[in-house]
A and B are shown apart, each in its own frame.
Chain A
Amino acid sequence: MTNNVETTEMITCVIDGFEVTVPKGTLVIRAAEKLGIQIPRFCDHPLLDPAGACRQCLVDIEINGRAFPKPQASCTIPVETGMIVKTQLTSPVADKAQKGIMEFLLINHPLDCPVCDKGGECPLQNQAMSNGRPESRYEGVKRTFEKPINISSQVLLDRERCVLCARCTRFSEQIAGDPFITLNERGALQQVGIYEKDPFNSYFSGNTVQICPVGALTGASYRFRARPFDLVSTPSACEHCASGCDLRTDVRRGKTLRRLAGEDASVNEEWSCDKGRWGFKYISSRERITTPLLRGTDGELHEASWPEAIAAAAAGLAGKRAAVLTGGRLTTEDAYGYSKFARISLGTNDIDFRSRGNSVEESEFLAAIVTNLSTTYRDIDKADQVALIEFDPEDESPIVFLRLYKQSRKRGLKVTTLASHSSRGSEKLGAIRINNISELSELTAKSVILVGERAHETPGLLSSVAALAQQSGAKLGWVPRRAGERGALFAGALGNLLPGGRPVTDAAARVDIQSAWGVSTLPAEAGRTTDQILRALDRSELGAVVVGGVDPMDISSEALTSMLNSFVVSLEISHSAMTAIADVVLPVATVIEKSGSYLNWEGRTRAFDRALEDSLTRSDVRILSMLADEMKRPINLPTVAATAREIESLGHWDGATVTAPTQSLAPEVIPTGNQATLESWRLLLDLGTLQQGEENLAGTARPATVVISAARAATLGVVDGNSVSVTHERGTITLPVAIGDIADEKVWVPRNSIGSQSIVTFGAGRGVLVTVVKA
């Protein structure tokens, strides 16, 4: 578990006559792999605890001259000095034992291979060919079950295909911490089952489908859609959150059919969350925009040609003071395109990637602190304590959660969380919940502080976090929700930053960029934040806005109306609230249709290539480049590759940064009576734009509930499951209640779930006073 190679004891053993030296504790099956000897297996998985469930990996073992009387499962036995192992290659006994086990496994295994999803990439199929008997001797009737049964709305189980390896149950217990499935019954009737009361609504259930060594678990959205040899696979990166998962995109006939978790030991290991795995239907949505659209004199959008649309956009932007809003979902290259477009073509620093709540304090925090952060997953692995500040890892960055869970399970990693209440995720981590950052203690240089994007909602919190990290020497990580935020920050898509973390107000930094871009001047004044831009648009201080992938409802309920009087150029993939008010709509490519890279929360580059070769859509940066050419202020970024090269040549700023914010924490207003302060965050599976159209995924979303304290519940006279109404002067949310460890004066609702969209209903995600009454 530790990475100190010097202190690890090495052991030498002999496998099939070859000597191999491995660290103490290595399993025989793994030591054999090191020699290139493949022992067949089903239940063994390097990231799961050994189970010895399938018995397929039987080998002959002898220690110091004393042989085991029977073949042993090599996936459960660690190597020892003087051990002599004979695999199926050298021992007829082991070979016969393996063939016998294979025969047993196949007795009740149906001949579904021709129609089974796994056929063609099935370990059982492959190993039956390599290590099984060529002919079946079984003439009886195979055991059958009704098939398939829904384990959840996403995962289907064909019980007769199961070889009882327990990989799925071990995964959900050991990796995800959601032991919703288990092996029921015994003997031939043994099967994977769910608890009737507690459905398999894990955020990580898709991994069980991927690690199932037979086709017993299948994904509802991929079932019977294709066979492995139909698919064209491309390594890609996940566009959903800042975890930065390595994914594989499988395309057939121009359609994405599935995405699998890729292997990256330093990031997602072999896992991914269900959102990343199944949330790709938006790509082939009917709402996709395929041609440029222009708003005509009749007030409707009409299809237009590219030259027409670009000319109209350029004409509309000419002579106006314009700003740029980029959603947090852009690749670094695209964000760089917007950044350069704003500075050169629009001559402004009014650009902000935060299509959510934001503050000046956060801008300063990002510019001063986050651009230089280098905390990684490895630091979590080695941490003595992890403090989560307004950050719920399971909902907001699931792979960070898996890392935390792994460490908390293995070595009882201490996790402290500053949150309104203990979520399911923090309960699984055994996190200690605190109400105030001053309660954080025992932070050392080995500790890790992970601060979420919601921290800006508490004025002064980011300043305190920065100061605390400075004081204690603890490693600091900023984990935004969206995949493109860290990259956009690096690309300078922020009012006070130029690319590479260069402060706008620093003359030397500007000269750096001026010479790189070949321009004589750059605007020297720090730009507005998203909120300030919207206010300026509302007051007509700004006349135009270029918007890339922003849902105005993520920012505030007024965002859309404040843009109504301005000239709006929208670069979008699908029809949305934004395109409904835009004057020019330019269609852009989705992640599978373009190449590019993201920076995950660590600042690690997650580059990917396009999965669809013959797509006609283009990346944002290419379109901005065309627009800039039309405006006669070119940005010269014709391709994504050229953009990536330019970003690389700029490098990171090593001069002085802006000063960190030093705002002090404001005392919170304590409401009384049936009033409460609103708290919320987004659940992983909710009404997010990129999850649209995937009903199976939505089926496993956690139900929306109002979380109140036991005392408040007693006052209201409600118990778990009763409905309560949360009312603000703008609207009401009525949901079933869940009693939690939330402070008495607070109430929590999901920010963007079915029946609970706090920004739409209340106009705010946090901090407003609401009234809670029994419904």
Chain B
Amino acid sequence: MAENSEINKREDFGLAKAESESAPITEQVAGSFFKQLQGFWVTFITMFKKVNTVQYPFEKAPTAERFHGRHQLNRHPDGLEKCIGCELCAWACPADAIYVEGGTNTPEEQYSPGERYGKVYQINYLRCVFCGLCIEACPTRALTMSNEFELADSTREKLIFEKEDLLAPLRQGMLQPPHPMYPGSTDTTYYRGEVPGSHPSQETNSHA
């Protein structure tokens, strides 16, 4: 029995209901006229409300705090890069937009604390879907996303961002790598955030 009613319901395809509602407006109850007025009222009252439209690109509105914008490769307080070239971002990327080649730090040329640094770092913004999985994968918080979203350009080549395009700018107290690590520090000191900034002794190689 239950099966039969099921079939009946299915065969009906909701036609009966549609037929009843498609009756001419004159035949409907009087209340529906007020409903239409209510609709017009919404339109009318909006004319006196604050406008949400932003006159982009003449005006720019701030994005949400955790907006997924252009990536940034961060630095430690003394200027050394946080990226260790582990390629986990490249592996996490569902769009295959990231290409990383690691290099080995040497005492003469130290780019990041520890053994390895990202020698080549490219993000292809034609491919990137801004999902943020790379940021979750990054073990050193080297890769984060900024709020910048204006990434249109005229050629494909320009949309492949190199390491120098992605690296965070040098702030107060930072030195351009390669330069030696903070005196007396290890990579762990860096990861714990115990390095306050650059030390004068680190400047030795900065112009090499």
Contacts and interface: CB of A to CB of B under 8 A. Distances in A.
A224 B116 contact: yes
B86 A115 contact: yes
Contacts of B87: 227
Contacts of B116: 224
Given A224-B115, A225-B102, A114 B85 contact: no
B66 to A, nearest CB: 24
Contacts of A224: 85-86, 102, 104, 115-116
A114 B86 contact: yes
A114 B88 contact: yes
A507 B104 CA distance: 62
Interface string B46-86: 00000000000000000000000000000000000000111
A114 B102 contact: no
Contacts of B84: 115
B169 interface: no
Contacts of B88: 114-115
- The listed residue with most B CB atoms (<10 A of its CB), out of A148, A223, A224, A227, is A224
Contacts of B91: 227
B143 to A, nearest CB: 14
Interface string A140-168: 00000000100000000000000000000
Chain A's interface size range is: under 10
Contact of B139 (A114, A223, A225, A227): A114
B139 A115 contact: yes
A114 B90 CA distance: 12
B139 to A, nearest CB: 6
Interface string A100-124: 0000000000000011000000000
Contacts of A115: 84, 86, 88, 139
Interface in A223-263: 223-225, 227
A227 B87 CA distance: 10
Contacts of A223: 115
A227 B137 CA distance: 16
Nearest to B90: A230
A114 B137 CA distance: 9
Contacts of A114: 86, 88, 137, 139
A248 B183 CA distance: 43
A696 to B, nearest CB: 11
A626 to B, nearest CB: 36
Nearest to B187: A147
A241 to B, nearest CB: 29
Nearest to A230: B87
B104 to A, nearest CB: 8
Interface in B82-136: 84-88, 91, 102, 104, 115-116
A114 B139 CA distance: 9
Nearest to A156: B115
A148 B84 CA distance: 15
A378 B208 CA distance: 59
A223 B102 CA distance: 10
Contacts of B115: 148, 223-224
Nearest to A148: B115
B164 to A, nearest CB: 22
Nearest to A115: B86
A227 B91 CA distance: 10
A425 B101 CA distance: 41
A233 B115 CA distance: 26
A641 to B, nearest CB: 35
Give the 8 A-B CB pairs with smallest separation, nearest first.
A115-B86, A224-B116, A114-B88, A224-B102, A114-B139, A115-B139, A224-B115, A114-B86
19 contacts: A114-B86, A114-B88, A114-B137, A114-B139, A115-B84, A115-B86, A115-B88, A115-B139, A148-B115, A223-B115, A224-B85, A224-B86, A224-B102, A224-B104, A224-B115, A224-B116, A225-B102, A227-B87, A227-B91
Interface of A: 114-115, 148, 223-225, 227
Given A114-B137, A227-B91, 6 more contacts: A114-B86, A114-B139, A223-B115, A224-B102, A224-B116, A225-B102
